[in-house]
Chain A
Amino acid sequence: MVDIGGWLRDTVSRRGFLWGGMVAAGGTVVGTSGASSQAGHTQHGMSAASAVAPHLAAHGAMITVGDVDSDRNGFDPTVVLTEWETGTLSKLPDGQTLRTFEITAEDKEIEIAPGIMFPAWTYNGRVPGPALRATEGERLKIVFRNYGSHPHSMHFHGIHSARMDGVPGAGLIGPGDEFVYEFDARPFGCHLYHCHALPLKRHIHKGMYGAFIIDPDPALHPEQANVARSRLLGSPENAGFQEMVMVMNAFDTNFDGENEVYAVNTVAHAYAKRPIRILKDKPVRIYLVNMTEFDPINSFHLHANFFDYYNQGTTLTPTLTTVDLITQCQAERGILEFTFKEHEPGLYMFHPHQSEFTELGWVGMFDVVEAVS
């Protein structure tokens, strides 16, 4: 009698073998063919990985399809990287510098990955909210107006009075209301602010957070004045660094308590599709903040290089030296410093070392180039 079962199994395994061989021969072949067929769809207006640049080969076919419309979003991930909100400056009668920020809360639908719209709650219409930057010792005044549909607040990670804490009963305001937070900028470091309205999880993952950076005042740190100056925005020493802010975040698009999309600065794969240009000779400083909801930790891993890390940025000497991976729980943050001076130009990947987050959108590239004089 003919053994059909065995025969069928043989057929399957023979094909399986062929297939396995194909994969071994080149997962890239599959990836490339997928990419080219994708490009063929561009004219149909379907979400298309329009620019399947060579650097995407690093991801194979594992990437979101298409591009996010930054114009509609009102913020561009590449611009967000280096965009500091410095407010307006004036002098108080006692000589203290007063720095005033104006922030509005608003409901806004944003595109967090190509084609995926998310009903966000935002500060100033963007997620993450503006990266506020001040200098140690200044008086800060943040005029907060709630144009959203729910009560909101700004809870700053810093030193301030109970009245200014931005929690229910202290600076949490209803729709249409206004509140002015006032406190001194201290301690220096890489901090953050977020909405502390309840339920907290929902208000955070809907997008209400941003970086809050206080540069050290060199005069207050005479023993490390040079280091302090390099951190002070606007100083010549600071101009020697390539600074950028990255807020690690994620979005639960179907509201099941798990994130569908992970990113830095909101847009999945933004820096994988458009690598961040880095001048080889210029050191890099990243203000990194973790505002991922639902997952206990997030992390940052730099390929082919090591960095120094200043946990929470409140010191002028690194709290970790020569590491290529740091982890942060929610609201943890810090400053990364590294250089590609000794490297050959090329694409250097960075991503969290939770593979899941990486594969769901949180991955980027540094495009290290020779300085063009």
Chain B
Amino acid sequence: MTDIDRSSVEPFAAAPVEPRSRAYFLWIVIPLAVLGLAIAWLVSTDPLSGFRNGAPPVEKLTFERTILGSDGIRLLIRAGGSEPMRIAQVQVDDAYWQFTQDPPGAIARGGTVWIHLPFPWIVGEAHAIRVVTNTGVTFDHEIPVAVLTPTRDSLSFFSQGLLGAFVGLLPVAIGLMFYPVLRGVGRNGMNFLLALTVGLLAFLLIDAFGDALELAAEAAAIFQGPVMVVLAAVASFLLLMAVGRRQGTPSGLALATFIALGIGLHNLGEGLAIGASFAAGAAGLGTFLVLGFTLHNITEGIGIAAPILKVRPPLWSFAGLTLLAGGPAVIGLWIGSLAYAPQWSALALAIGAGAILQVIVEVGSYLMRSDGRGLGSLVAPSTMAGLLAGVALMFTTAMFVKI
């Protein structure tokens, strides 16, 4: 673990500086010129026409957003064909419906259009959308449970904010309230708490990564979902490691802040997904579910408190940590219910996963330092117990919210 830490912070040795001659620049120009020539040749003489076997162009449509309003159904559709695509007709529940497309005409690769259908959808029931392209290829989209999509009006803005506070801010605050009690713990108790934090973070890492991959699979192929998720996670991990280690290994309030940031990013992605699934009517929001989320996230507050038990941070920092860890859930809910596309939730969750990994590394190294026994502390009974307790706690409380 420590090897990874070092390699990620050590700067690469700078290449020896040579005098820049004209030949130096020539070797930038020549490869680019070859590329240009190849493109020109391909376009002008079409030497690959032999591969054209009469097959129709590949067509792909991805449904990114569904908005159910009082004037019918609106769909944001992204094209991913090998050539620009044309939507010819749209069926709702196996019936052709009038629709308007904005902007009209062919949809370029990667481009999006809005389709508006003046369809009298029925609250609580399922509807099936089928788009027929000019070649007769069809793309299906299911609305599992039709409910009115939240709009930008203040009422839903406020209620979503409140919901975000319940699932994000409140539990972190409650967790941090254990701070005075936890302060009295000894070395083993401290190890237990830090390991508990690692355990809960490990759970979140797996959870976030799994969810990110799942969402990425729904996104248009052009976003290369799985690759995007892995790259975003690695990038955020490396970036946060670099930032965190600028002034030595983080500990105390700095470490707590990083934990809060990691959890916050995770909560942002989760908020996006929750907001979107409620907007899509995928889940009815029961009191039970909200309480489940609250309970689930209390552990996060305890985790944030662990590294600052031996320091005495100012009171305002607790408010700051709460906002940093829980606030993004509110923001995620707002954005998720208004502007939803699976790739953005996947991206947020992937960045969160990278951030969580960084925190796991840092909390682990902090545990070793504070304990003083080095690697041995990682396999101490109190550490093992904490790890298991953290994962088990998260797993058990997650049972309330997984449907």
List A residues at the B interface (Cβ < 8 Å). 2-9, 11-13, 15-16, 18-20, 22-23, 27, 30-31, 33-35, 37-38, 41, 44-47, 49, 61-66, 113-118, 251, 253-254, 260, 268-269, 356, 359-361
CA distance A19 to B135 in the complex (A): 36
Given the known interface contacts A8-B285, A16-B123, the answer about A115 and B162 at a Cβ–Cβ threshold of 8 Å is no
Contact B70 A19 (CB under 8 A): yes
Contact B98 A268 (CB under 8 A): no
Which residues of A sit under 8 angstroms from B317, Cβ to Cβ? Answer: none
Contact A11 B118 (CB under 8 A): no
Contact B132 A12 (CB under 8 A): no
Which residues of A sit under 8 angstroms from B136, Cβ to Cβ? Answer: 116-118, 251, 253-254, 260
**Chain A residue nearest to B98 in the complex (CB):** A61
Total cross-chain contacts (CB, 8 A): 146
Contact B118 A34 (CB under 8 A): yes
Contact B95 A45 (CB under 8 A): no
Contact A253 B71 (CB under 8 A): no
User: Which 6 pairs across A and B sit closest by C-beta, in order of nearness?
Assistant: A253-B136, A115-B88, A34-B118, A46-B104, A359-B95, A16-B123
A11 touches which one: B98, B155, B286, B290 (CB < 8 A)?
B155
Which residues of B sit under 8 angstroms from A35, Cβ to Cβ? Answer: 98
8 Å CB interface, B337-389 against A: none
Contact B159 A116 (CB under 8 A): no
**Chain A residue nearest to B121 in the complex (CB):** A19
Which residues of B sit under 8 angstroms from A113, Cβ to Cβ? Answer: 88-89, 96, 132
Which residues of A sit under 8 angstroms from B179, Cβ to Cβ? Answer: none
1/0 per residue B137-178: CB within 8 Å of A? 110000000011000000110010011001000000000000
Contact B123 A41 (CB under 8 A): no
CA distance A64 to B96 in the complex (A): 5
Q: How far is the CB of A342 from chain B (nearest CB, A)?
A: 33
Contact A116 B94 (CB under 8 A): no
B114 within 8 A of A: no
Given the known interface contacts A4-B285, A5-B287, the answer about A30 and B100 at a Cβ–Cβ threshold of 8 Å is no
Q: How far is the CB of A259 from chain B (nearest CB, A)?
A: 10
CA distance A52 to B162 in the complex (A): 47
Q: How far is the CB of A273 from chain B (nearest CB, A)?
A: 12
B148 touches which one: A19, A63, A116, A269 (CB < 8 A)?
A19
**Chain B residue nearest to A252 in the complex (CB):** B136
Contact B118 A30 (CB under 8 A): yes
Q: How far is the CB of B49 from chain A (nearest CB, A)?
A: 20
Contact A253 B155 (CB under 8 A): no
**Chain B residue nearest to A16 in the complex (CB):** B123
Which residues of A sit under 8 angstroms from B284, Cβ to Cβ? Answer: 5, 9
**Chain B residue nearest to A251 in the complex (CB):** B136
CA distance A19 to B134 in the complex (A): 33
8 Å CB interface, B254-294 against A: 278, 284-290
Contact B134 A30 (CB under 8 A): no
8 Å CB interface, B44-91 against A: 70-72, 86-91
Which residues of A sit under 8 angstroms from B88, Cβ to Cβ? Answer: 47, 66, 113-116
Contact A11 B285 (CB under 8 A): no
Q: How far is the CB of B171 from chain A (nearest CB, A)?
A: 14
B120 within 8 A of A: yes
Residue among A22, A44, A61, A254 facing the most chain B CB atoms (10 A cut-off): A61
Which residues of B sit under 8 angstroms from A7, Cβ to Cβ? Answer: 159
**Chain B residue nearest to A17 in the complex (CB):** B123
1/0 per residue B94-109: CB within 8 Å of A? 1111111100110000
